[in-house]
A and B are shown apart, each in its own frame.
Chain A
Amino acid sequence: MPWREPGFSATERVTLKLRGLYEQFGYRKYHVGQFEEYALYLRFKSFLTGGRILSFTDLDGRLLALKPDVTLSIAKNTQLSGGAEKSYYIENVYRESASTGAMKEIRQMGLEYLGGDGAYAQAEALYLARETLKAVGPAHVLELSHMGFLLGLFDALGLEGEAREKVLSCLSSKSAHGVAEEARRAGIGAAGVEALAKLCSLSGEFSQTLAQARELCLNPRMTAALNELNQAAEAAGVDESLRLDFTLQGDMEYYDGLMMAGYLSGAPRAVLYGGRYDGLMKKLGRDACAVGFALYLDDLKGLPRPQSDCDVDVLLLAGDGCDPAKLLAEVRALTGQGLRVRVDTQPPEGLRCGEVRRFEGRDSQC
């Protein structure tokens, strides 16, 4: 009997599609346990955005945590043997919700590319991030930034410590007046204040914005960051959906090179975050490049989906005492025609039916 394709939600559809895409590029599915040693997150607390972690004492006395992040677990546990390790995952993480102040279960699908050639890895990650967005919806924007460019500018201007954090915070809200105020308070000169404030408007179409950013370069670190961005973007293909925005900040603090965020028309916030995190690998004692991204599957639920007019095509009302064999045969005959059928004794409340039929013994009628 030919099965009818179910009314997939955006999340289900995308998950299936992306599994195929990632496996085509040589990524293997990776499953991480729900719990990790709490000590791991304590050690890397500065890399994790957001405060609280759900922890509990296991039966053997070990302090465990519901994982707030998948990347950290994969980076720690993956065996690297010279070549690259490529993994993708579909997992839940547990984080504090900024809007409700309560813990939230968040479903993520993402990939990690550990080891191998860094330049190729980030070009591939960038390409796949854009393909990921394309798989969800046609109207999308993939935004890029590079921490090296920002930190290079901060170094050149002598912006350090708490002032640096405050400027970064103002940058994330594109508050040019806030950036200027904080920079002035930190004793930065007029030219420096202007350069920092300019970062807020340094966003838009990739090539044009890159050219504008080059005018701000004050040291080799900034130039190298832009070159790296350009190399990855050129390799992945520059189109109008690719943008540069130096106010972009990731969902996690461990991104220390190229960073990306993906937006879909109709979703109120970024649905994809990713980037390069070699520094995290180093802290884990591993000398390897690392790049990855995660798609926030829960945020896709709010996107418009093709609405079916009804929940079932045929509601078959069968009274008590019907012959079950005949009834099932009738259901199979209808489903065989590709119809969705539900049997009940009376119309269920709230169920949208294409048509209602009454089954009476041998005969059925509309």
Chain B
Amino acid sequence: MLNIALPKGRLGDKVYRLLAGAGYDCREVFDDSRKLVFESEDAGVRYFLVKPSDVTVYVEHGAADIGIAGKDILLESGADVYELLDLGLGKCRMCVAAKNGYVEDPDRTLKVATKFANIAKRYYASLGREIEIIKLNGSIELAPLLRLSDVIVDIVESGKTLKENDLCVVREIFPISARFIANKASYKFNAAAIDEMISRLSAAIREEGEA
């Protein structure tokens, strides 16, 4: 039985549909929205619906054998897991954004508002830039507008929210997409089942892309 941590929300729904189509169906997943664990003995899978940012935690600690997590979550958590496949779903970008017309003063410590403190720290360390992190948990776009920060480091999908708030992308840090991850120890004991799932899932994604 493979334990799978699925992120709640659109990405999780999409990945579940692909997995179900590939033979890992568990009918009750969408039947009862309050249930968090769903099991299908026939398909040999047990799904957990968890907060997207917690998927890596479940997988790294072995509570789930595999999971689906965004590259942003993987890099922020630094989880020691296998990243076996880039699903190419949920594509977006991790970017530095600022108010339109913002000009950086290299003589000052840069104030960076973000949910992704580790990613921001690593990125600016690689540039040798001194920064002050302002950790926020939501509505990051507000920070430069209220002069709480000079820039923000956040996920940008279409750029619409930035545009509506008079902000723009200053720099792209890395592209993001959903990844198929596995617990390192679980993989040693379930490699055949996990590899089989990856191969079926890849085929389902390819088919969907071609359709």
B36 within 8 A of A: no
Q: Identify whether the interface residues of B are mostly helix, strand, loop, or mixed.
A: mixed
Q: What CA separation (Å) do A31 and B79 show in the bound complex?
A: 34
A334 within 8 A of B: no
B38 within 8 A of A: no
Q: A141-B189, A173-B81 are in contact. Are A270 and B184 (CB under 8 A)?
A: yes
| Contact (Cβ within 8 A) B191 A98 | no
The CB with the most chain A CB atoms within 10 A, among B80, B86, B188, B189, is that of B188
Partner of A139, one of B61, B82, B179, B189: B189
- Flag the segment in A19-27, A77-85, A260-268 that touches B: A260-268
Q: What CA separation (Å) do A86 and B185 show in the bound complex?
A: 30
CB-CB nearest in chain B for A271: B185
- Flag the segment in A174-182, A188-196, A312-320 that touches B: A174-182
Q: What CA separation (Å) do A267 and B61 show in the bound complex?
A: 9
Q: How many residues of A contact B (CB 8 A)?
A: 20
Against A, the Cβ 8 Å flags (1 = close, 0 = not) of B29-61 are 000000000000000000000000000000011
Partner of B80, one of A98, A139, A243, A267: A98
Q: What CA separation (Å) do A99 and B47 show in the bound complex?
A: 24
Q: Which residues of the other chain, B, contact A263 by a CB distance below 8 angstroms?
A: 184-185, 188-189
| Contact (Cβ within 8 A) B191 A204 | yes
Q: How many residues of B contact A (CB 8 A)?
A: 19
The CB with the most chain A CB atoms within 10 A, among B60, B78, B85, B189, is that of B189
B62 within 8 A of A: yes
Q: Which residues of the other chain, A, contact B13 by a CB distance below 8 angstroms?
A: none
B84 within 8 A of A: yes
A283 within 8 A of B: no
| Contact (Cβ within 8 A) A268 B83 | no
Q: Which residues of B in the span 96-129 have a Cβ within 8 Å of any Cβ on A?
A: none
A203 within 8 A of B: yes
A126 to chain B, nearest CB (A): 17
Partner of B60, one of A139, A243, A264, A268: A268
Against B, the Cβ 8 Å flags (1 = close, 0 = not) of A144-177 are 0000000000000000000000000000011101
Q: Which residues of B in the span 157-203 have a Cβ within 8 Å of any Cβ on A?
A: 179, 183-186, 188-189, 191
A269 within 8 A of B: yes
| Contact (Cβ within 8 A) B83 A265 | no
Could you list 16 further interchain pairs (A-B, Cβ under 8 angstroms) beyond the known A174-B84, A268-B183?
A98-B78, A98-B80, A99-B60, A139-B189, A141-B189, A143-B188, A173-B81, A175-B83, A175-B86, A177-B85, A243-B188, A263-B185, A264-B185, A267-B185, A269-B185, A270-B184
Task: Using CB atoms and an 8 Å cutoff, list the residues of chain B in contact with chain A.
Answer: 60-62, 78, 80-86, 179, 183-186, 188-189, 191
Task: Using CB atoms and an 8 Å cutoff, list the residues of chain A in contact with chain B.
Answer: 98-99, 139, 141, 143, 173-175, 177-178, 203-204, 243, 263-265, 267-270
Supply 15 A–B pairs (Cβ within 8 Å), ascending by A: A98-B78, A98-B80, A141-B189, A143-B188, A174-B82, A174-B84, A175-B83, A175-B84, A177-B86, A263-B185, A263-B188, A267-B62, A268-B62, A268-B185, A269-B62
